Structure 1
């Protein structure tokens, strides 16, 4: 069985323009996390990391 994907949540939740400034996920990604398949979670983690990198540049 495949390993579970660790949520990028860091318990510093604050949404700015529908994106959490703590983890980089969108409101919908946070809401849907538990029902996502492993592949979707991995993709979400990648997108969240890119968003966090972009947020830190601002």
Structure 2
């Protein structure tokens, strides 16, 4: 199961409104604390796909 811990890794650089550190949009970052666990998991899954699309390593763990 995906952790719902705040995914910020203090690399707050944006590419077209998406943080290259965590993959979240500015709107998602602002709303993070108010989201429930299910919504956080959805945001994290979408952020992962964005990081892949950007070619950013971000918070992905190497296997």
Give the structure-2-normalised TM-score.
0.79
**Partner residue in 2 for 1:7:** 6
Structure 1 unaligned blocks of 5 or more: none
Show structure 2 runs of 5+ residues with no match.
57-63
Q: Please report the RMSD computed on the Cα atoms of aligned residues, expressed in angstroms.
A: 1.5
- Count of residues paired in the alignment: 54
- Mark the structure with the bigger radius of gyration: 1
More helix by share: 1
Q: Mapping of 1:21-32 within 5 angstroms?
A: 21-32=20-31
Cα distance in structure 2, aligned partners of 1:15 and 1:7: 17
The answer for the alignment partner of 1:45 in structure 2 is 44
Alpha-carbon distance in 1 for matches of 2:4, 2:24: 14
Q: Which runs of 4+ in 1 moved over 4 A?
A: none
After TM superposition, give the deviation of residue 32 of structure 1 in Å. Answer: 0.2
